[in-house]
Structure 1
Amino acid sequence: MGRPNRTPQPGKTPEPKKGQLTSSLRQFLVTPADLATQPHGADGSMASEESAPSSPASEVLTSGTERPPWLDLLRALPTKEDLHSATSALGATIRQDIQALRADMQGLSDRVGHMEATCDSLREAQHTLAEAADSSSEQVRGMALHIEDLDNRGRRNNLRLRGLPETEDSPQQLQEILLEILNEILGRDHQAPIEFVRAHRALRPKGAPDSPPRDVICCLANFALKETILKQARGRQSLTYRNQDLQLFPDLSPATLTYRRALKPLTRVLVAQQIRYRWQMPTGLLVHTQRGPFLVRTHSDYIALGTELQLPAINMRWPDPLDIYTAARNPYPRPALPQRTRGGRQEATRPTGTAR
């Protein structure tokens, strides 16, 4: 028996078959290339219905109000000519900037070359000036030592007596006291004649009543007699005058005394190890070692002496004659002078070289 035909219900469309659905969907797929190749009318719509596909999508595209938004976006995309012109302008700009950069680099290279040449000339000039400064420093050091030697030669006949009570004594009274003391050292009669050139106290202000007395400086006319007196004084255990202990020294220049004061740490170690030494003029130290005398005059000699004698580490800097003669930066200051009393009030001693 055959199945009776059903009448279609109103309001419902007939469902297409599977094969028919696939063929109808292809009509709605319109590529952008197909849209670009189709001619447009005067109002911007598609040209004619004969050239358009007979599909619902073509009907939507032909109407101006129903165009999809991505169509304007596709039309606004740059073309190959636009990209070519943009890249050409960009390349020209980059080439221009590169040329300017090359010019700047060339200018910098020239300036750097000029600066290097200038630095080389300045380095050579600085080396020449350094050598000249070193040579001048050595010459000044030599002149300082020469001045020190001349100062000591001017004092070669002088004796310095320390510890003699300071009274209101005149140069004549000082000579009489010195005559008695020196004759006692020589083992002669106290009234034996000794020729004095001069005799006076140290040239500085008188100190406070409780301060040590100023040294007495006397100049003998006979240098051999002066050396004999010093030799006899070294052999004596003590030297007294009217129950006052005295000390007798050769009169040396302030620079020599400063030099020997700076070497005191070294001489203290030599005395502790019972190593004999002797001062040299104008500056220097003659040390008696097992291999013979060792003369120390410079810092390198001092280092070699410490290595030779295996001396302990000494915190000492070798004195420089330029520092000794430069009062503004003298690292070896002289002891402060005693203070004086004026009107029952103690007054500080004025530093050397300052205005009153």
Structure 2
Amino acid sequence: MLETQGTMSMRFLLGSSASLLPIPPLERQTSPPTAVGDEQEKEEAAGISAFTAVLTAKLAETKSELLAEIKDTYARYEARLSTVQAAVDDHTERIAHLEQSADSTSIDVTEMKTTLSAIAAENAKLKAKLTDLEGRSRRNNIRIFGLPENIEGPTPTVFFSQLLFEVLGADVLSSPPELDRAHRSLAAKPGPAGKPRHVVICFHRFQTRELVVRTARRLRGNLSYKGSPIHIVEDYCPEVLEQRGQYRDVMRKLYQLGHKPALRYPAKLFVVMEDGSRKHLPSVKDAADFVSRRCRDDGDRSLPESN
């Protein structure tokens, strides 16, 4: 025998606990309708109606709960989205402000670069002029290295004038040269075992200074005063000394190769060639390349000829 729909409806409505209670199955009557059959059909109809009502109520309740939950979730997400949108709007405004500031800064930087380039060019010109003026202010000066300290006494100008006359001889200077100033360099005075400070001398006449410099260059390594070897050189400003110092190694190699280099003011290197002509080497690199070529040529000439 099968359970009727009313019985199944009752089990659903009663829930899991009702499923434990045995409900006797109702037998479907195939005999002609009787009072019992009518009553059974009414019960089944009532059960179906009750089940439908309960199901409808449950569906309505579930729908209400779902709608409430959806609305609550939507409200939360809407609040979050509002916060995110506010942040995005704020960031957009800030980015727009930063872009505007960046554009303005870029324009300012471009203008400053242009101004800086002009200032740098002007500064280079002024620096060159300053170096030239300082060089001109030293054009009557020489420096003497190797003289012991304190030998000049209280009248250094007179002493060094007489010293130059004695060192260079009467065949170069007819009389002690006229000097405007003569003093030790402004460095701190050394101790007894220290290296003596060099002497700075300013001639009254440029021609006399040139004569002394040319003679000292010709007698390089052979000048001395009372047994102390001395060196007489031109007085250059620091910038010119730095430029000339870059040629020191190249000039040493040129001397070793038998050439006669000459470094003219401020730092222009000339080399006397075999035919007597002068070759100008405008940069340290050009001078180094010239030395390298000369070394290769000398090496090739020193190789024995093959038969």
TM-score by length of 2: 0.62
Higher relative helix content: 2
Residue 230 of structure 2: which of 227, 241, 246 is its match?
246
Q: Alpha-carbon deviations, 1:122-150, whole Å to 9, x = none? A: 12212322332343234334323322222
Aligned to 2:211: 228
Q: Secondary structure at the match of 2:104?
A: helix
Identity %: 22
Hey, what's the Cα distance between the residues in 1 that align with 2:243 and 2:161? 31
Aligned to 1:271: 252
How many residues are aligned here? 248
Residue 116 of structure 1: which of 86, 99, 110 is its match?
99
Instruction: Mark the CA change 1:292 to 1:117 in structure 2 (over 3 Å): closer, same or farther.
Output: farther
Paired residues of 2:164 and 2:176 also in contact (CA < 8 A): no
Code of the residue aligned with 1:257 in structure 2: it is: L
Code of the residue aligned with 2:280 in structure 1: it is: P
Aligned to 2:193: 210
Q: Aligned-pair distance for 1:258?
A: 4.6
Paired residues of 1:179 and 1:194 also in contact (CA < 8 A): yes
Hey, what's the Cα distance between the residues in 2 that align with 1:196 and 1:113? 73
Instruction: Mark the CA change 1:156 to 1:86 in structure 2 (over 3 Å): closer, same or farther.
Output: same
Residue 182 of structure 1: which of 164, 168, 187 is its match?
168
TM-score by length of 1: 0.55
Aligned to 1:219: 202
CA root-mean-square deviation: 4.2
Hey, what's the Cα distance between the residues in 2 that align with 1:90 and 1:230? 100
Q: Aligned-pair distance for 1:32?
A: 5.1
Hey, what's the Cα distance between the residues in 1 that align with 2:288 and 2:226? 48
Q: Aligned-pair distance for 1:112?
A: 1.0
Aligned to 1:7: none
Q: Alpha-carbon deviations, 1:252-296, whole Å to 9, x = none? A: 2344335544x3xx5314532658462433xx4446599953434
Q: Secondary structure at the match of 1:161?
A: strand
Instruction: Mark the CA change 1:310 to 1:110 in structure 2 (over 3 Å): closer, same or farther.
Output: farther
Instruction: Mark the CA change 1:130 to 1:155 in structure 2 (over 3 Å): closer, same or farther.
Output: same
Aligned to 1:320: none
Paired residues of 1:280 and 1:286 also in contact (CA < 8 A): no
Q: Secondary structure at the match of 1:26?
A: coil
Q: Aligned-pair distance for 1:248?
A: 0.6
Residue 240 of structure 2: which of 234, 256, 264 is its match?
256
Paired residues of 1:201 and 1:214 also in contact (CA < 8 A): yes
Hey, what's the Cα distance between the residues in 1 that align with 2:104 and 2:252? 54
Aligned to 1:200: 183
Paired residues of 1:181 and 1:241 also in contact (CA < 8 A): yes
Hey, what's the Cα distance between the residues in 2 that align with 1:306 and 1:91? 84
Hey, what's the Cα distance between the residues in 2 that align with 1:29 and 1:129? 95
1:280 aligns with 2:265: yes
User: Which ranges in structure 2 are unaligned for 5 or more consecutive residues?
Assistant: 14-38, 48-53, 293-307
Any residues of structure 2 matched to 1:1-356 within 5 Å, and which? 24=1, 26=3, 30-31=7-8, 35=12, 51-52=42-43, 78-88=61-71, 90-91=73-74, 94-95=77-78, 97-98=80-81, 101-166=84-149, 167=151, 169=153, 170-171=155-156, 172-183=158-169, 187-188=171-172, 192-236=175-219, 237-261=221-245, 263=246, 266-272=247-253, 274=257, 276=261, 278-281=263-266, 284-286=267-269, 293-296=280-283, 305=286
Instruction: Mark the CA change 1:192 to 1:81 in structure 2 (over 3 Å): closer, same or farther.
Output: closer
